[in-house]
Structure 1
Amino acid sequence: MRRRGFTLIELLVVLAIIATLLALAAPRYFQHVERSKEAVLRENLATLRDAIDQYHADTGRWPATLAGLAESRYVRAVPVDPVTDSTETWTTVPPPDGGEGIYDVHSGAPGEARDGTAYAGW
């Protein structure tokens, strides 16, 4: 009676093929993850900046906090910075005329994007 099954060599060949495919696919996967985080960050910044401008146009003053934008229903909630995974890392910029409130917002994430620009400069 002969037993049916895989030999050790056959299993090693299959594992080598799987490892080769993973070695080819994994770097591309992580590049796509980084690219998608940057796209979400750009969109979140555009949304926040638009809400800040709408708040100023409606009230004649700048919002005091980002949470105030959500409380006033200009955004549903303060968006998450996808690079830091936090709503608390946004860096706010005061108005250029020295007034009170938030004039602009930037990412508080350290480091640089794939194009070489700093996240803080976006």
Structure 2
Amino acid sequence: MKFEEATAVGRKVRASAIQRRRRGQAGFTLVEMLVVITIIGMIMALVGPRVLGYLGESKAKAAKIQIESFSSALDLYYLDLGRYPNSNEGLAALARSNNTPGWNGPYLRGGVVPNDPWGHSYVYRSPGERAPYEIISLGSDGQEGGSGTATDIASGAR
């Protein structure tokens, strides 16, 4: 047997031995998988509520910013027409004209009244309880009142 042939045979023997060892070690055992899943579950149990809390806070902040944007648009409407839209006209008066003389809108970007971050329409009242108008997001539940993420968010003090 020549040296090259012996080397080739030796490589084949080593390669098949390595393959046999790998076959026995392929994949993870059921116990290892259960341990990993348990650890991931514990991490999610600790981190999940915080992430959801931040999400609720960010939606409340977004609602406040939208209400401030509506307030600015209402002030421009007032400067052009000398009055705020009444409750029947609502925030839609900022987006489209009712052939009102002096209307220089749309006063909202895109010409549409967006919903609040929870997908509900904003409530607009004019006159408001303590101001010429009141803009309210009813929170995550879409109902008046509530606490936590369901707390109503209103323009000015309520």
TM-score norm. by structure 2 comes to 0.62
Give the Å deviation of 1:46. 0.7
1:106 alignment partner, SS class: strand
Q: List runs of 5+ in structure 1 lacking aligned partners.
A: 97-101
Matches of 2:148 and 2:72, distance apart in 1: 23
Q: Work out the number of aligned pairs and report it.
A: 112
Pair 31,79 (structure 1): closer, same or farther in 2 beyond 3 Å: same
Higher RCO, 1 or 2 (CA under 8 Å, sep at least 6)? Answer: 1
Paired position in structure 2 for 1:95: 127
Alignment check: 8 A CA contact 1:52 1:104 kept: no
Match of 2:137 among 83, 100, 107: 107
CA contact (8 A) 1:69 1:75 kept: yes
TM-score by length of 1: 0.77
2:52 aligned residue:
30
2:57, 2:46 → 1: CA distance? 18
| Structure number with bigger Rg | 2
Structure 1 residue ranges (4+ consecutive) displaced by more than 6 angstroms after TM superposition: none
Structure 1 residues 18 and 112, CA, compared in 2 at 3 Å: closer, same or farther? same
Alpha carbons of 1:19 and 1:118: their partners in 2 closer, same or farther (altered >3 Å)? closer
Q: Is the 8 A contact 2:67 2:154 kept in 1?
A: no
Q: Is 2:103 the partner of 1:75?
A: no
Q: Say if 1:49 and 1:113 are closer, same or farther in 2 by CA, change over 3 A.
A: farther
What letter is aligned with 1:15? I
- Letter in structure 2 aligned against 1:80: N
User: Aligned equivalents of 2:154 and 2:94: distance in 1?
Assistant: 22
Q: What RMSD in Å do the two structures reach over aligned CA positions?
A: 2.3
Structure 2 gap ranges (5+)? 1-19, 97-104
* Identical columns (%): 34
Q: Structure 2 counterpart of 1:68, which letter?
A: A
